[in-house]
Amino acid sequence: MGKSKHRILGRGKNDLDKYDMTRHQAIDFVVNELVARPSSIKAKRMISLFGLHPEELTEAGAGYESVSKMDRDFSLS
């Protein structure tokens, strides 16, 4: 393996510690984003990354209206 490829793979491996997030933290983040901005792109990305379901978001405190709007816009299920 060349030096450049070795550096690129090493950099990706070392950057994982910065973005270490549990599923519970992701749900809290999405709920807070939906309360602040119902059509948040960050929330949509987290939903798709973690595969969150509408039931999880409403149980965590997200409003039904914002979750149903997100479900229509982004297909949560």
Q: What is the pLDDT of residue 15?
A: 53
The widest CA-to-CA distance across the chain, in whole angstroms, is: 52
Q: What is the pLDDT of residue 16?
A: 47
pTM of the model: 0.66
Contact 57, 27 (CB under 8 A): yes
Q: What is the pLDDT of residue 18?
A: 53
Q: What is the pLDDT of residue 20?
A: 73
| Tens digit of each residue's pLDDT (9 = 90 or more) over 8-59 | 666 655 554 555 788 899 899 999 988 888 878 888 888 888 888 888 898 9
The SS3 of residue 24 is helix
